[in-house]
């Protein structure tokens, strides 16, 4: 199948060449664009299915944060932090002249969504938050710390899929081999030596381990900037990162929020689940 996106690049304030997928949307379309923000160890491929779905009506922009995918790796690992990622995205938005948009953020991308809203309240017209909220549970962070930056490699895609299963089966207990293979091809690439490796700079683990860097403090203040913004909160029923209690508190603080729980899935749902996709279309259907 032919790709319906363009590979584009922008330059960060510290000179890195950063990549994004641009799905142009319909010619002459005036609907607000969608900005998709991936998780800690992920890349633009995470949103391939969703972006293909949404591009029929809207432009979709899927940036890859520094150190992921086709974006440059940072020479200083301390710049692998949510505040720097947000600054990079701000530069992209400014370069593209985008002043108002819809945000879809998975995990770290949801943290970035809140920080973007806090920086300029009112510019996010609607938001999808995928398995993340203002309170990030320590157990979930501990699990992520256990695998991020491990640098494993595999001789075949089946070995890679089984490697993912060994680590992530508690979050996806019902996955079969085809689904693990799909996850492997989203998160890994064939390296120059022919082995299959993760598609990110292993150095992102260094600042992640420092207190306050994985999840910036006082995120409830950032979430308040999304009050009354139409929002869909997606939670994995087995999530260790986002608690049901945090979901309840978020609903109180944003009456315009709807929540959906994906059963038998942990961190994080793919957003390709039929019930999630239908809920996203319902949310975006009310946004010009």
Q: Which CATH number covers residue 11?
A: 3.40.50.1820
Distance CA 126, CA 58 (A): 13
Residue 267's domain comprises: 6-138+208-285
Distance CA 268, CA 262 (A): 9
Contact 50, 36 (CB under 8 A): yes
**Does residue 77 or residue 27 have the better pLDDT?**
77
pLDDT at position 211: 79
155 domain-assigned: no
pLDDT category of residue 280 using cuts at 50, 70 and 90: very high
Distance CA 121, CA 140 (A): 29
Lowest mean pLDDT among 56-65, 137-146, 238-247: 137-146
pLDDT at position 2: 67
104 domain-assigned: yes
pLDDT at position 29: 84
pLDDT in tens, 25-42: 998 888 999 999 999 999
Contact 130, 114 (CB under 8 A): no
pTM of the model: 0.97
198 domain-assigned: no
pLDDT at position 168: 97
74 domain-assigned: yes
pLDDT in tens, 170-184: 999 999 999 999 999
Q: Round to the nearest angstrom and report the end-to-end CA distance of the chain.
A: 30
199 domain-assigned: no
Per-residue pLDDT at 213 exceeds 80: no
Residue the block writes with tokens 């607000």: 32
Determine whether 218 is exposed, middle or buried from the number of CB atoms within 10 Å of its CB (0-12, 13-18, 19+). Answer: exposed
161 domain-assigned: no
For range 36-63, the mean pLDDT: 97
pLDDT at position 1: 53
How is the beta sheet containing 196-198 ordered, strand by strand? Answer: 153-154, 196-198, 188-190
169 domain-assigned: no
Distance CA 85, CA 269 (A): 22
Distance CA 71, CA 64 (A): 6
Average per-residue pLDDT for the chain: 96
pLDDT in tens, 115-168: 999 999 999 999 999 999 999 999 999 999 989 998 899 999 999 999 999 999
Per-residue pLDDT at 48 exceeds 90: yes
User: CA separation (Å) from 25 to 30, 95, 271?
Assistant: 10, 18, 20
Per-residue pLDDT at 224 exceeds 70: yes
Number of domains in the chain: 1
33 domain-assigned: yes
Determine whether 288 is exposed, middle or buried from the number of CB atoms within 10 Å of its CB (0-12, 13-18, 19+). Answer: exposed
Per-residue pLDDT at 16 exceeds 70: yes
């Amino acid at each position: 199948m032919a790709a319906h996106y363009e590979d584009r690049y922008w330059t960060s304030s510290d000179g890195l060449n950063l990549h994004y997928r641009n799905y142009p949307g319909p010619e002459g379309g005036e609907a607000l664009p969608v900005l998709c923000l991936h998780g800690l160890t992920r890349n633009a491929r995470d949103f391939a299915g969703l972006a293909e779905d949404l591009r029929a009506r809207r432009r979709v922009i899927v940036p890859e944060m520094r150190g992921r995918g086709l974006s440059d790796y940072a020479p200083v690992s301390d710049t692998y932090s949510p505040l720097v990622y947000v600054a990079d995205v701000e530069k992209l938005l400014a370069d593209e002249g985008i002043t108002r948009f819809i945000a879809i953020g998975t995990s770290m991308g949801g943290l970035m969504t809140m920080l973007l809203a806090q920086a300029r309240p009112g510019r996010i017209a609607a938001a999808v938050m995928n398995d993340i909220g203002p309170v990030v549970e320590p157990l979930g962070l501990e699990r992520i710390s256990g695998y991020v930056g491990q640098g494993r490699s595999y001789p075949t895609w089946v070995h890679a899929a089984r490697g993912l299963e060994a680590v992530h089966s508690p979050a996806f207990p019902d996955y079969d081999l085809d689904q693990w293979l799909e996850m492997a091809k989203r998160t890994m690439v064939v390296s120059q030596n022919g082995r299959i490796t993760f598609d990110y700079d292993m150095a992102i683990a260094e600042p992640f381990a420092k207190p306050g860097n994985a999840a910036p403090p006082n995120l409830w203040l950032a979430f308040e900037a999304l009050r009354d913004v139409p929002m869909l909160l997606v939670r994995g029923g087995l999530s260790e990162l986002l608690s049901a209690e945090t979901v309840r508190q978020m609903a109180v603080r944003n009456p315009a929020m709807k929540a959906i729980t994906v059963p038998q899935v942990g961190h994080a749902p793919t957003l390709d689940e039929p019930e999630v996709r239908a809920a996203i279309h319902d949310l975006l259907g009310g946004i010009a």
